[in-house]
Amino acid sequence: MIAWKKLFNSFIFAFTGIIKTFKSEQNFKIHIMISVIVILTAVTLDFSSLRMAVLLIVIGIVLALELMNTAVEKTVDLMTLERHPLAKEAKDAAAGAVLVFSIFAVIIGILLFIEPLLRSIES
Ligand SMILES: Nc1ncnc2c1ncn2[C@@H]1O[C@H](COP(=O)(O)OP(=O)(O)OP(=O)(O)O)[C@@H](O)[C@H]1O
């Protein structure tokens, strides 16, 4: 038997987490704004379904990683507000995960946009 109320509540909790992170984390706000601009540009350039799917996967991973980074930061702060080398390692590794994928996201973005951009300039 599916516990619908429990399922509904877990969606509400997840949305609350996204909205709270949006309000408190500048990096998440910046990533959301860039994502909206990139998706609108892709629509304008008439991206194929496959190109759009790859773009949405990459954007989804960046945003999900940013949320996980916030979760790590909050958990570390809950453990200790004192300065501790392990707290620094944990926070820096989580931030590093976002940075690593963001660099790849930019490269993938260039590969995805270059051909449609050149096509729209030529026509
Ligand atoms: N409890 C901690 N102990 C040691 N280093 C920390 C701790 N919290 C954050 N740092 C490190 O301090 C640097 C800056 O982190 P961050 O930008 O999160 O600011 P912060 O020190 O937490 O201050 P704020 O709360 O103003 O954001 C990062 O390298 C981070 O890993």
Complex ipTM value: 0.89
From the CB of 92, is ligand 1 less than 6 Å away?
A: yes
In this predicted structure, what is the pLDDT of residue 16? Answer: 98
**Is the C-beta atom of 34 inside 6 A of ligand 1?**
no
pLDDT at 10 over 90: yes
The predicted pLDDT at position 61 comes to 98
Q: pLDDT digit string (tens) for 64-113?
A: 999 999 999 999 999 999 999 999 999 999 999 999 999 999 999 999 99
Domains present along the chain, CATH in parentheses: 26-122 (1.10.287.3610)
Atom of ligand 1 nearest to the CA of 91: 31
Distance of CA 92 to the CA centre of its chain: 17
What is the pLDDT at residue 72? 98
Question: What pLDDT is recorded for position 2?
Answer: 87
Q: What is the pLDDT of residues 42-66, one digit of tens each?
A: 999 999 999 999 999 999 999 999 9
Pocket test for ligand 1, best of 21, 88, 92 (most atoms within 8 A of CB): 88
Q: Which one is catalytic: 66, 89, 115, 122?
A: 66
Give the three-class secondary structure for 39: helix
DSSP secondary structure string for all residues of 92-109: HHHHHHHHHHHHHHHHHH
In this prediction, residues 1-27 reach a mean pLDDT of: 96
Which of 120, 115, 102 has the alpha carbon at shortest distance from 34?
Answer: 102
Half-sphere exposure of 14 (CA within 13 A, CB side): 7
- Residue 123, pLDDT > 90, answer no
Q: Is 119 in the pocket of ligand 1 (CB under 6 A)?
A: no
CA 39 to chain centre: 13
Angle at alpha carbon of residue 39, lines to 46 and 116, rounded to 5° = 35
